Amino acid sequence: MNRTYIKDLVSAIGKEVSISGWVDVRRDHGKLIFVDIRDMSGKVQAVALPSNKAAHEVASKIRPEWVIQATGVVNKRPEKMISKNKETGEIEPNGDIELELKSIEVLNEAETSPIDLHTDGREINEEVRLKYRYLDLRRPRMQKNIRLRSEFVERARQFLFTKGFTEIETPYFTSTTPEGSRDFIVPSRMYPGKFFALPQSPQQYKQLLMTAGFEKYFQIARCFRDEDLRADRGFEHTQIDMEMSFVTRDEVMQLDENMITTVAEAMGYTIKQKPFPRIPYADAMKKYGADKFDMRTEEDKKRGVLAFAWVIDFPFFEKDADGAWTFTHNPFSMPAPEHLEWHLAGTHTREIVTQQYDLVCNGFETGGGSIRAHRPDILKATFRTMGYSNEQIEKDFGHMLKAFASGTPPHGGLAHGIERLMMILTGENELREVQAFPQTSSGRTAVMDAPSEISDKQLRELGIELRKKK
Ligand code: ASP
């Protein structure tokens, strides 16, 4: 018999069906044994009657989280037995039907779960939760979060395809670049003593795709940053990363706003203000004391409203801890047209405004980007301001300068942090609640034991000798 998904049982009343899934809960009343069975589509109550010996016998020994295939007849349940969801009081999906079991086949047994799967999981020690993440993900909240994330990405992808974008992958093994964070480094076996860096973002490659003539690029891109971990920061995060040619700042913001609005509204969310307000950085600092802020009222918060705003007109440079100029957002950005002369001359550094835009939502920065410096002299000026020598610029960015001297169109783009957006959409407070296999807050991989030591043979192959620990 073909498998029926549990959500489709409502339209199979009176029919014999076969379902597959996990035992969620079992209630043994001696004569009647109730088994709640769960699959990716929902949950249903099944009942084994003593009159059916075979099914009753298996039902008496199965345990929560065993994997089973069950056949039975779908019955409408008497009104008074309709099950209510304990938390919400709502009728559960399929609450008005029941499966009268004919047979049960055990596909795999399960040890007793080391973590409780019937709570929301937040009370469980994080290391333990992530060690058993494959079980933790079975809880409805996690299933919902991860599926919602997939829906979000699918809708964004569809939107971008309808606008003529091409999805292109860029390398994970690349070279170290300045993007404000520490790189993750990968040793090279073929070139002992040399190292790859994992990309902090596809920034340079996506710009090179503009040189290559693709004009509209996007990627669901993994980014790697060796940062101190926080609730809203991990070593790895995913971006919806875009870049476009022959565009103005307003056109990029417009397209992005259109995407975010289309996707969020299709998913049933309400947006507080459209078009998104645009707030100059200086005004945001004056009004909110920060460049990310929450414009929601208490009522908006209760209703799950999304309050988006653009922040624009950021200063290009600021002084770092050593008193040297560094970029505030992105070294590849273009200064405001009225400040280009200063930029090229290396004067008025503090006053130069960059064509950077950040998208803020409900107190978080959820995205950002800029119109880029697409001429070699402009990019060179940026690094000169930051104190790079000509040799250093050539060594680190010679490839970009060469590309920019090879017919690179004006271009710009932006990226959205998917986890930040999903935290907002799901109302979660932690990045980890919207990633399938996140790192622990102490920087260890979920489920697997990483980072871990490697063998002497591997070290030798890589030409690496470890220093003795002090
Ligand atoms: N590369 C930037 C980032 O990762 C985004 C952009 O400017 O497109 O934040």
What are the residue ranges spanned by the domains of the chain? Answer: 6-108, 136-456
Of the candidates 382, 383, 405, the one whose C-alpha atom is nearest the C-alpha of residue 395 is 383
Q: What is the CA(69)–ligand 1 centre distance, in A? A: 48
Residue 119 is inside which H or E element, if any? Answer: none
Task: Specify the residue with its C-alpha closest to ligand 1, atom 7.
Answer: 369
- Check if the beta carbon of residue 229 is closer than 8 Å to that of residue 441: yes
Of the candidates 327, 310, 311, the one whose C-alpha atom is nearest the C-alpha of residue 319 is 327
- Using most ligand atoms within 8 A of CB, pick from 177, 203, 233, 333 the residue to mutate for ligand 1: 203
Please identify, by atom number, the ligand 1 atom nearest to the C-alpha of residue 203: 1
Per-residue pLDDT, 96: 82
**Tokens read off for 154:** 């699918």
- Using most ligand atoms within 8 A of CB, pick from 174, 181, 183, 241 the residue to mutate for ligand 1: 241
Show the DSSP H helices in 35-168 as ranges. Answer: 53-61, 126-131, 133-136, 140-162
Per-residue pLDDT, 85: 56
Residue 88 makes CB contacts below 8 A (sequence gap 6+) with none
Instruction: Tell me the per-residue pLDDT of 237-285, one tens digit each, with 9 for 90 and over.
Output: 999 999 999 999 999 999 999 999 999 999 999 999 999 999 999 999 9
Mean pLDDT throughout 423-437? 95
Mean pLDDT throughout 57-67? 97
Q: What is the CA(12)–ligand 1 centre distance, in A? A: 50
Task: Specify the residue with its C-alpha closest to ligand 1, atom 1.
Answer: 203
- Check if the beta carbon of residue 257 is closer than 8 Å to that of residue 265: no
Hey, how many other C-beta atoms are within 10 angstroms of the C-beta on 260? 24
pTM above 0.75, yes or no: yes
pLDDT over 70 (residue 82): no
Question: What is the helix, strand, coil percentage profile of the chain, to 5?
Answer: 30, 30, 40
Q: What is the DSSP letter of 352?
A: P
Report how far residue 403's alpha carbon sits from residue 206's, in angstroms, rounded to the nearest whole number: 12
Please identify, by atom number, the ligand 1 atom nearest to the C-alpha of residue 333: 7
CATH fit for domain 136-456, picks 3.40.50.970, 3.30.930.10, 3.40.50.300, 3.40.50.720? 3.30.930.10
Of the candidates 347, 290, 284, the one whose C-alpha atom is nearest the C-alpha of residue 316 is 347
Which class for 324: exposed (0-12), middle (13-18), buried (19 or more C-beta within 10 A)?
exposed
Show the DSSP H helices in 163-248 as ranges. Answer: 203-211
Instruction: Tell me the per-residue pLDDT of 170-200, one tens digit each, with 9 for 90 and over.
Output: 999 999 876 678 999 999 999 999 999 999 9
CATH fit for domain 6-108, picks 3.60.40.10, 1.20.59.20, 1.10.10.10, 2.40.50.140? 2.40.50.140
Q: What is the CA(85)–ligand 1 centre distance, in A? A: 43
Q: What is the CA(203)–ligand 1 centre distance, in A? A: 6
Q: What is the CA(330)–ligand 1 centre distance, in A? A: 7
Please identify, by atom number, the ligand 1 atom nearest to the C-alpha of residue 239: 4
Please identify, by atom number, the ligand 1 atom nearest to the C-alpha of residue 330: 7
Instruction: Tell me the per-residue pLDDT of 207-223, one tens digit each, with 9 for 90 and over.
Output: 999 999 999 999 999 99
Instruction: Tell me the per-residue pLDDT of 405-423, one tens digit each, with 9 for 90 and over.
Output: 999 999 999 999 999 999 9
Report how far residue 436's alpha carbon sits from residue 423's, in angstroms, rounded to the nearest whole number: 13
Residue 382 is inside which H or E element, if any? Answer: helix 376-385
Share of residues in the chain with pLDDT > 90 (%): 90
> What's the angle, vertex CA 152, arms to CA 146 and CA 157, rounded to 5?
130
Q: What is the CA(414)–ligand 1 centre distance, in A? A: 6
Q: Same fold for the domain at 6-108 and the one at 136-456?
A: no
| Averaged pLDDT of the chain | 94
Report how far residue 233's alpha carbon sits from residue 302's, in angstroms, rounded to the nearest whole number: 25
Please identify, by atom number, the ligand 1 atom nearest to the C-alpha of residue 413: 8
Task: Specify the residue with its C-alpha closest to ligand 1, atom 8.
Answer: 414
**Ligand 1 first shell, C-beta below 6 A:** 201, 203, 330, 368-370, 413-415
Report how far residue 48's alpha carbon sits from residue 62's, in angstroms, rounded to the nearest whole number: 12
- Using most ligand atoms within 8 A of CB, pick from 174, 218, 239, 330 the residue to mutate for ligand 1: 330
Per-residue pLDDT, 88: 46
Task: Specify the residue with its C-alpha closest to ligand 1, atom 4.
Answer: 201
Q: What is the CA(65)–ligand 1 centre distance, in A? A: 43
First to last CA, the chain: 65
